[in-house]
Amino acid sequence: MTTSAETHLHPTNPNNGEAFSPVRCTALAEIPACVQRARQAQPHWQALSLRQRSRFLHRFSQEVARSAERIAECLCQTQGKSPFDAYGEIFTVLELCQYYQRVAGRVLKARWAFPLSGLHRSHRLVYEPYGVVGVIAPWNYPFNLSLQPVLAALIAGNSVVLKPSEHTPHIGAEIAHLFAQAGFPRDVLTLVQGDGSVGQALIAAGIDKLVFTGSVAVGRQVARLAGEQLLPLTLELGGKDVAIVLADADLQRAAQGIAWAANVNAGQACLAVEQVYVEAAVADACLHALRQAYANLRVGDSTDPTADITAITTPAQLAKIQALVEDAVLCGARLVCGGQAVRSAGRFFQPTILTDVPESARIWREEIFGPVVVVQRVADAAEAVARTNASPFGLTASIWTRNRAQGRALAAQLQVGDVAIIEHGAPAGHAEIAWGGRKASGFGKTRGKEGLLEMVVQKHLSWDWFDRPREAHWFPNAKRDAKFLLRVIGWLFGR
Catalytic residues: 236, 270
**Before 83, cis peptide (omega within 30)?**
no
Q: Strand, coil or helix: what is 368? A: coil
Using a 10 angstrom Cβ sphere, with 0-12 exposed, 13-18 middle and 19 or more buried, the burial of residue 30 is middle
Q: Which helix (H) or strand (E) holds 469?
A: none
Helix axes 283-295, 251-263, angle to 10 degrees: 50
Query: What are the φ and ψ backbone dihedral angles of 424, each rounded to 5 degrees?
Result: -140, 135
How far, in Å, CA of 394 to CA of 416, rounded? Answer: 4
Helix ranges restricted to H, 278-380: 283-295, 315-331
**Amino acid at position 312, single letter:** I
Contact 245, 212 (CB under 8 A): no
Q: Strand, coil or helix: what is 374? A: strand
Closest CA to 199 of 180, 177, 223, 230: 223
Closest CA to 363 of 332, 386, 395: 332
Question: CA dihedral defined by 318, 320, 321, 325, rounded to 10 degrees?
Answer: 140
Contact 237, 214 (CB under 8 A): yes
**Amino acid at position 280, single letter:** A
Q: Strand, coil or helix: what is 195? A: coil
Closest CA to 248 of 373, 397, 405: 405
Question: CA dihedral defined by 250, 436, 214, 369, rounded to 10 degrees?
Answer: -10
